[in-house]
Amino acid sequence: MPLITYREALRHAMSEELTRDENVVILGEEVGQFHGAYKVTEGLLEKFGPKRIVDTPISEAGFIGIGIGASMLGVRPVMELMFWSFYSVAFDQILNNAANIRYMSGGQINCPIVIRGPANGGTNVGATHSHTPENILAHHPGVKVVVPATPYDAKGLLKSAIRDNDPVFILENTILYGLEGEVPAEEYTIPLGVADVKRAGTDLTIVTYGRPVIQTLAAAQQLQQEHNISAEIVDLRTIRPLDIDTVLASVRKTHRVLIAEEQRPFCGVGAQLAYMIQNEAFDELDAPVQRIGTVDAPAIYSPPVEIEQLPNSQRILKAALATMDA
C-alpha cells in the first residue's frame, strides 16, 4: 500500500466523495483559495470549482448554520473548523439544532453534515485554541463523534461520515497531519462505532484514541522491551457510538486497564469508560481502572511545560507501570 500523510488521507477521502456524490460540498474559512489553514483541502478548488469548494466569512455561527440548513435539504456539507475550540460560537446550531432535528421532525428530516478540524494541544497556541471537546459533543444524543489516529483510519472514517445521515463530528490533530501511514489506493470505508486493536497483548489493556494512540504504542514497545509487560492497545476510533464490546473483550483477557486520553480528567471520556468497565466487568479486574490524561489546567503556553501537561509516552509508561503494581 502507498504511504501517504494523515493530511493527504483526509484530502483523498473528500476528493473521492466529491466525485462520487454531487451533493457533497466543502465549506469553511480559507478552504478554497488558501487551500485550507492546514492545507488539507489543497487542490480541491481547482478540481471541483467554487460551487463545491466554498470559502466562508469568519463566522462559525453563520457558516455552520448555513451548512445545517443545506443538509436538511439534501446537501452533504463537509465543514472545516480552523480549530474545534471555535465550536462554542456555534453551540446552538451544532448541539441544539443539528443534533435534534431528526428527533424533532419524527424522522422526516435528516441532517447529514460533517464538521471536521483539529482539536488538540501541544502546538503552543494557548488556552483558547487547544480544546478537546469530544466529551462535550458526545454528551448529546443524535450525533456521532470520531477521533482518528492514523492516515488509514482518517480516510476510511471520513468517507463513512460523509455518507452518514446524522451529524458527524471529526476531531483531528494538527500534530498528526504530517504522520505517514499505509493507505490502500482502492475504495474502502471504516464503519463508525467499531474500535480497533492496534496492538495485541496479554498483561494490560490500554484504551485510547486520537494522538495518544501513537504515544501509547511507543510506550507499549518500551514496556515490552524493558519490563517484559505485554500491553494491548485498543483504539476507540469513535467516541459515539462507543464500541464497549471490544474494550470489555480485552479487559477479560488482561484483567488490568489504563485509559489514556488527551482529555482533562474531570468529566472526561475516560470517566465514562471507567464506569462502564467496572459496571460490566468488575469481577474480571485484578486492579482498579487507572487513567492518564492532560493535567487539569488551561493549555500552558510555554512549549516545554505544555509537553509535560499532555499525556506523552513517558507519562503513559509511568501510568502503565503503576497500573501493573496496583
Among residues 182, 212, 230, the one where a domain terminates is 182
Instruction: Please tell me the total count of domains within the chain.
Output: 2
Asked whether residue 190 is domain-assigned, the answer is no
Q: Sorting pLDDT into bands at 50, 70 and 90, what band is 161? A: very high
Among residues 147, 182, 217, the one where a domain terminates is 182
The answer on pLDDT for 326 being more than 90 is no
Q: How many CA atoms lie within 13 A of 31 on its CB side?
A: 29
Q: Are residues 172 and 210 in the same domain?
A: no
Q: Are residues 156 and 19 in the same domain?
A: yes
Percent of the chain with pLDDT over 70: 100
Q: Are residues 35 and 150 in the same domain?
A: yes
Give the residues across from 249 on adjacent strands.
none
Asked whether residue 33 is domain-assigned, the answer is yes
Using CA atoms, how far apart are residues 227 and 138, in angstroms rounded to an integer?
36
Q: What is the pLDDT of residues 196-250, one digit of tens each?
A: 999 999 999 999 999 999 999 999 999 999 999 999 999 999 999 999 999 999 9
Reply yes or no on whether 17 is catalytic. Answer: no
Q: What is the pLDDT of residues 54-98, one digit of tens each?
A: 999 999 999 999 999 999 999 999 999 999 999 999 999 999 999
Asked whether residue 189 is domain-assigned, the answer is no
Q: Are residues 111 and 205 in the same domain?
A: no
Among residues 139, 155, 182, the one where a domain terminates is 182
Q: Are residues 205 and 138 in the same domain?
A: no
302 C-beta neighbours (distance < 10 Å), count: 10
Q: Are residues 11 and 89 in the same domain?
A: yes
Q: Are residues 157 and 205 in the same domain?
A: no
- Are the CB atoms for 263 and 293 separated by under 8 Å? yes
Reply yes or no on whether 227 is catalytic. Answer: no
Q: Are residues 13 and 145 in the same domain?
A: yes
* Among 208, 305, 315, residue whose Cα is nearest residue 263: 208
Using CA atoms, how far apart are residues 76 and 23, in angstroms rounded to an integer?
6
Asked whether residue 222 is domain-assigned, the answer is yes
The answer on pLDDT for 1 being more than 90 is no
Asked whether residue 187 is domain-assigned, the answer is no
Asked whether residue 191 is domain-assigned, the answer is no
Q: Which of 8, 17, 29, 60 is catalytic?
A: 60
Phi, psi of 117 (to 5 degrees): 155, 175
Asked whether residue 93 is domain-assigned, the answer is yes
- Angle at alpha carbon of residue 77, lines to 63 and 133, rounded to 5°: 70
Q: Are residues 212 and 164 in the same domain?
A: no
Asked whether residue 252 is domain-assigned, the answer is yes
- In three-state form (DSSP H/G/I as H, E/B as E, the rest C), the secondary structure along the chain is CCEEEHHHHHHHHHHHHHHHCCCEEEEECCCCCCCCCCCCCCCHHHHHCCCCEEECCCCHHHHHHHHHHHHHCCCEEEEECCCHHHHHHHHHHHHHHHCCHHHHCCCCCCCCCEEEEECCCCCCCCHHHCCCCHHHHHCCCCCEEECCCCHHHHHHHHHHHHHCCCCEEEEECHHHCCCEEECCCCCCCCCCCCCEEEECCCCEEEEECCCHHHHHHHHHHHHHHHHCCCEEEEECCEEECCCHHHHHHHHHHHCCEEEECCCCCCCCHHHHHHHHHHHHHHHHCCCCCEEECCCCCCCCCCHHHHHHHCCCHHHHHHHHHHHHHC
CATH number, domain of 171, equals 3.40.50.970
Using CA atoms, how far apart are residues 274 and 323, in angstroms rounded to an integer?
14
Q: What is the pLDDT of residues 268-294, one digit of tens each?
A: 999 999 999 999 999 999 999 999 999
Q: Which of 12, 129, 172, 232 is catalytic?
A: 129
Q: Are residues 153 and 237 in the same domain?
A: no
* Amino acid 268: pLDDT: 94
The pTM of this model reads 0.96
CATH number, domain of 226, equals 3.40.50.920
Distances (CA, A) of 202 to 226, 228, 245: 16, 11, 17
What is the residue range of 321's domain? 196-325
Q: What is the pLDDT of residues 16-64, one digit of tens each?
A: 999 999 999 999 999 999 999 999 999 999 999 999 999 999 999 999 9
Q: Are residues 229 and 174 in the same domain?
A: no
Q: Are residues 54 and 165 in the same domain?
A: yes
